[in-house]
Amino acid sequence: MRQHLRVDVARAIERLKVLLGPAGYLEDAGDIEPFLTDHRKLYRGVTLLVALPSSTSEVASLVEICAAAGLGMVPHGGNTSYCGGATPREQGSEIVVSLRRMNRVRSLDALNYSMTVEAGCVLAAIQRAAEEADRLFPMSLGSEGSCTIGGNLSTNAGGTAVLRYGMMRDLVLGLEVVLPDGRVLDQLKPLRKDNTGYDLKQLFVGAEGTLGIVTAACLKLFPRPRGYATALVALASPQAAVDLLTGLRGSLGDNVTTFELLPRSALELVCRHIDGATDPFGHPHHWYALVEVSLPQADSDLAERLQTELAAGIERGALDDALLAASLGQRSAFWKLRENIPEAQAREGASLKHDVSVQTGRLPEFIDEGALLLERLVPGVRLVAYGHLGDGNLHFNLSFPSGGDQRVFLQRAEEVHRAIHELVARYRGSFSAEHGIGRHKVAELERYEDPVALDLMRRLKRVLDPDGIMNPGKVLREE
């Protein structure tokens, strides 16, 4: 395949420019700069062109041109990937395909609780469009103001409402995908029941652009909650948090939409680095849970029931303290403490990330074992293990030991990742619960994935993308 490249590449680029017109591509160094690095600045690549197609048929023609020249394509959304999935590699043999001009809501059917959107729609714009129709699109992420639905689909995004509504995979009714040979796979039916053979659309969700380019999606909508009851709960341990979650789900059922765990270390980082963030409790606690219950009607008694449950927990000594948000301002202050953890940890300095999941009931044991292991490996390391406890998914992140050398800490990365991922494997957990594989975790996938599953993935890739032109080297090593 690669031998085509040198011969045909210049001609292909010229054809692409003619196809897309002057508004449809970028090539000046300053303009393409933002497309060359990932959000975490782990990678820096080179590209021949950033294509900005404006329609599915343009994407299809673009793919045909690239396929004929064996030219690689890197689909690009809001550039918020944690694993370098949307960044071109260093070889300079790939174009970036940004979907940002494809940002139309094609239709919204309130009766059918569905909407059809183009891949470049920003998540927050989709949420707003649903709300205007008195519906809810529940996907909710820290980066929702800039990430796009094409990226959410391609990485099977998670976020803070997975407990109630599931991951992106659960929120999609249909997809439109341009295949590596330029054909358009039209699976855009807004149907909840369509039991006709293999569920092909799901192949492309979480495939990180390695099997085709998602150009549009039909999304599931839900009844819009009339309000929320939000609490910040102080707890002695992760076990107390798991018990609280179990109790709340037992009494409030699926109305519990969010259950996020925060350690003291995370709260301190946010209060240190984020303007206006403060600890709402009088004195420090070891752990916190951010709990949100959605209220289906304005006169729902669920808020009172949450309050009663929390008060009873404090009375029994199961919880240390709890605050129920008394206003929208207080609700956003609680959320601010949670959503700013990644930013605060970045501002603190060198950190190492692990995006792990185990069965929810085993998380407390996992946290204890992981903390001991790390303390032996890197004495003084600061564990900032936070996140989606309700989904069994924690960001088991570390900050360099206070007063320690950040560079020396980062040199231990491989060793630390190995130790944590081995622990995860012993729990039959996942080393990438939420953020995908991208480029960053290709070797981990090879190491930890079931060999039969890995073999099937490689075969699927070969069937759909025999020339390896779709986001080469991401998820699976280039063959």
Contacts of 59 (CB under 8 A, 6+ apart): 53, 97, 99, 102, 178, 213, 215
Place of tokens 């909840």: 192
Rounded to a whole number of angstroms, the minimum distance from the CB of residue 242 to Zn ion is 18
Three-class DSSP category at 393: strand
Out of 138, 238, 387, 438, the only residue in the binding site for ligand 2HG (CB under 6 A) is 387
The one of Zn ion, ligand 2HG, none whose footprint includes residue 353, by CB under 5 to 8 A per kind, is ligand 2HG
Least CB distance to ligand 2HG at residue 387 (A)? 5
Nearer to ligand 2HG, 233 or 341 (CB): 341
Q: Which stretch binds Zn ion (CB under 5 A): 105-113, 174-182, 337-345, 432-440?
A: 432-440
Mask for 434-453, x = binds Zn ion (CB under 5 A) = x-------------------
Q: How many CA atoms lie within 13 A of 18 on its CB side?
A: 7
Rounded distance between C-alpha atoms, residue 360 and residue 400, angstroms: 27
Please give the Cα distance from 372 to 323 (Å, whole number).
31
CA distances from 425 to 94, 248, 319, 368, 418 (A): 35, 30, 31, 16, 10
Contacting ligand 2HG within 289-308 (CB under 6 A): none
Taking phi first (over 0 means left), then psi (-120 to 50 degrees means alpha), and beta for anything else, what does residue 372 get? Answer: alpha
Binding residues for Zn ion, rule CB under 5 A, total 1
What the block records as the tokens of 180 is: 């590596």
The residue among 145 and 466 lying less far from ligand 2HG, judged by its C-beta, is 145
Which positions from 124 to 163 touch ligand 2HG by CB under 6 A, shown as an x/- string?
Answer: ------------------x---------------------
d(CA 165, CA 159): 10
Mark residues 424-453: x for contact with ligand 2HG by CB under 6 A, - for none: ----------x-------------------
Query: Of the candidates 395, 439, 440, 461, which one interacts with ligand 2HG according to CB under 6 A?
Result: 395
Helix spans in 317-382 (H): 328-339, 341-348, 363-377
Query: What are 432's two structure tokens?
Result: 């990438």
- From the list 473, 468, 467, the residue with the least C-alpha distance to 439 is 473
Structure tokens at 253: 């059922």
- Tell me how far, at minimum, the Cβ of 247 lies from ligand 2HG, in Å: 24
342 binds, among Zn ion, ligand 2HG, none (CB under 5 to 8 A by kind): ligand 2HG
Name the minimum Å distance from CB 220 to Zn ion.
Answer: 21
Query: Please, is 177 exposed, middle or buried when counting C-beta atoms within 10 Å of its C-beta (0-12, 13-18, 19+)?
Result: buried
Minimum distance between the CB of residue 128 and ligand 2HG, rounded to whole angstroms?
22
β-pair partners for 44: 37
What residues pair up with 393 in beta bridges, in sequence order?
357, 388
Task: Say which residue the tokens 């609490």 belong to.
Answer: 231
Q: In this complex, which beta carbon is closest to ligand 2HG, that of residue 124 or of residue 318? A: 124
Residue 180 near which of ligand 2HG, Zn ion, none (CB within 5-8 Å, type-dependent):
none
- Residue 97, Cβ density class (10 Å: 0-12 exposed, 13-18 middle, ≥19 buried): buried
Binder to ligand 2HG among 150, 209, 263, 342 (CB under 6 A)? 342
For the bound state, the minimum distance from the C-beta of residue 379 to Zn ion, rounded and expressed in Å, comes to: 28
Shortest Cβ distance from residue 186 to ligand 2HG (Å)?
32
Which segment (1-9, 191-199, 312-320, 433-441) binds Zn ion by CB under 5 A? 433-441
Residues that bind Zn ion (CB under 5 A): 434
Residues that bind ligand 2HG (CB under 6 A): 142, 341-342, 353, 387, 395, 397, 434
